[in-house]
């Protein structure tokens, strides 16, 4: 009986971690310029994170900003509301504070982003700090007709 209760509690706690880790980024502004889409603290290992984007989710370009510890950004998979995907190989170390190169979204104008999956690893540092990664998107208010 005790084992069953412990297993159930562990399953509930584990599922809570999964649900809370996938909180969507909600965009409320359509003003032109750079907007922070999401931010995440990342650990010391090769990892993969997924950010869902809802609301005013149209962007022409994205980039990553890093603080607190350097990361090695391996690749991105950007899924658009239309269902098509854009795979981008980055293979870039981003020192802290620093940012990635800008990544133009395919299609020639603003695109509605459904989610961004990024693969990275945090690089070792003397303070054993986790990296804080921010994803930024550029709104130009140009929509392809």
**How many domains does the chain contain in total?**
1
Closest CA to 64 of 137, 141, 143, 145: 137
Q: Report yes or no on 36 lying in a domain.
A: yes
Average pLDDT over residues 95-113: 92
**CATH number of 134's domain:** 2.60.120.260
Average pLDDT, the chain: 82
Residue 5 counted as domain residue: no
User: Which stretch of 2-6, 105-109, 126-130 has the lowest confidence by average pLDDT?
Assistant: 2-6
Q: How far apart are CA 77 and CA 58, in angstroms?
A: 16
Task: Flag whether 48 is in a domain.
Answer: yes
The pairing of beta strand 103-104 with beta strand 61-67? antiparallel
Could you give the CA distance from residue 8 to residue 16 in angstroms, rounded to a whole number? 12
Which of the 8 DSSP states describes residue 58? Answer: E
Asked if residue 102 is part of any domain, the answer here is yes
4 is a domain residue: no
Task: Note if the pTM is more than 0.95.
Answer: no
Residue 11 lies in a domain: no
Report the phi/psi class of residue 108: left, alpha or beta, with left for phi > 0 and alpha for psi in -120 to 50: left
Is 109 domain-assigned? yes
Task: Please state, in angstroms and as integers, the Cα–Cα distance from residue 115 to each residue in 19, 50, 56, 126, following that order.
Answer: 16, 7, 13, 33
Tens of pLDDT, residue by residue over 87-98, are 999 999 999 899
What residues make up the domain containing 119? Answer: 25-139
Q: What is the per-residue pLDDT across 23-62, written as a single tens digit (0 to 9) for each?
A: 577 767 788 899 999 998 887 667 899 999 988 889 999 9
Determine the Cα–Cα distance for residues 101 and 88; give it in Å rounded to an integer: 12
The verdict on residue 61 lying in a domain is: yes
């Amino acid at each position: 009986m005790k084992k069953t209760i412990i297993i159930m509690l562990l399953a509930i706690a584990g599922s809570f971690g999964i649900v809370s880790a996938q909180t969507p980024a909600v965009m409320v502004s359509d003003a032109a310029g750079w907007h922070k889409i999401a931010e995440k603290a990342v650990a010391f290992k090769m990892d993969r994170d997924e950010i869902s984007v809802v609301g005013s989710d149209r962007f022409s370009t994205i980039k990553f900003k890093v603080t607190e510890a350097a990361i090695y950004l391996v690749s991105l998979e950007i899924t658009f509301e239309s269902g098509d995907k854009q795979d981008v190989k980055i293979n870039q170390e981003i020192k802290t504070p620093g940012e990635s190169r800008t990544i133009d979204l395919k299609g020639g104008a603003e695109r509605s982003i459904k989610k961004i999956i990024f693969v990275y690893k945090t690089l070792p540092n003397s303070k054993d700090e986790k990296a804080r990664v921010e994803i930024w998107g550029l709104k130009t208010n140009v929509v392809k007709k």
